[in-house]
């Protein structure tokens, strides 16, 4: 009888150790996943604020090579593997966001009137707000403790508001 109680106590202790180790691994995996997802969100902000940051010079829009280099260094600094980096440059397009709402408002204002050769007034088209838009997309892969993250990052930055 005494031998059986000792073996039951040992089995309970082993069971508790297994449960504690399992919980510790589960919590470590959750923390690692959370850190990876935090890094992805930080990279998304850095992609917009750093990779698409204006360049010095007359044309402040960074080149495709600059954006690719900056995006690669951002991902590498956080331990992620970047792939499929795409950069899209659109010139003379309507803005999005708050600028888009402003562009809609400006679109209701008539442009300046011109006088033709006969002396008649010609109405010009309404005012149009135009920008240069740079979009960067990047796929990243990162590994953590018993987990990994694959995500697509996208950032847009608009340059040079102008009225046409």
| Residues near 93 by beta carbon (within 8 Å), at least 6 away in sequence | 130, 131, 132, 133
Q: Which of 66, 129, 70, 64 is nearest to 99 (CA)?
A: 129
CB 127 within 8 A of CB 43: no
CB 88 within 8 A of CB 135: yes
| Residues near 112 by beta carbon (within 8 Å), at least 6 away in sequence | 124
Mean of all residue pLDDT scores within the chain: 84
- The residue with greater pLDDT, 67 or 120, is 67
- The residue with greater pLDDT, 58 or 154, is 154
Question: Per-residue confidence at 159, pLDDT binned at 50, 70, 90?
Answer: confident
Span 68-85, mean pLDDT?
Answer: 91
Percent of the chain with pLDDT over 90: 40
User: How many helices and strands, by DSSP H and E, does the chain display?
Assistant: 3, 5
What is the predicted pLDDT for the residue at 111? Answer: 67
Instruction: Report the number of distinct structural domains present in the chain.
Output: 1
- The residue with greater pLDDT, 116 or 23, is 23
What is the predicted pLDDT for the residue at 42? Answer: 93
CA-based radius of gyration for the chain: 29
From the CB of residue 71, how many other CB atoms can be counted at a distance below 10 Å?
Answer: 26
Percent of the chain with pLDDT over 70: 91
What is the predicted pLDDT for the residue at 43? Answer: 92
What is the predicted pLDDT for the residue at 25? Answer: 94
Question: The tokens 């508790």 sit on which residue?
Answer: 16
Domain enclosing residue 153, as ranges = 2-163
| Residues near 135 by beta carbon (within 8 Å), at least 6 away in sequence | 87, 88, 90, 154, 155, 156
What is the predicted pLDDT for the residue at 132? Answer: 85
Residues 83-136: pLDDT tens digits? 889 999 888 887 777 777 777 777 777 667 777 778 777 777 777 777 888 999
- Here the tokens at position 73 are 């260094």
Question: The tokens 């006969």 sit on which residue?
Answer: 118
What is the predicted pLDDT for the residue at 80? Answer: 92
């Amino acid at each position: 009888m005494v031998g059986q109680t000792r073996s039951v106590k040992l089995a309970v202790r082993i069971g508790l150790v297994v449960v504690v180790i399992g919980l510790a691994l589960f919590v470590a995996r959750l923390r690692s996943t959370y850190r990876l997802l935090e890094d992805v969100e930080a990279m998304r902000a850095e992609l917009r604020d750093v990779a698409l940051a204006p360049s010095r010079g007359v044309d402040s829009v960074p080149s495709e090579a600059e954006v690719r280099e900056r995006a690669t260094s951002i991902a590498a600094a956080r331990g992620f593997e970047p792939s499929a980096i795409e950069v899209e440059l659109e010139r003379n397009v309507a803005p999005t966001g708050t600028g888009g709402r402003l562009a809609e408002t400006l679109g209701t204002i008539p442009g300046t009137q011109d006088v033709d050769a006969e002396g008649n007034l010609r109405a010009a088209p309404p005012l149009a707000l135009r920008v240069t838009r740079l979009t960067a997309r990047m796929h990243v892969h990162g590994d953590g403790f018993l987990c990994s993250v694959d995500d697509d990052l996208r950032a847009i930055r608009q340059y040079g508001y102008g009225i046409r």
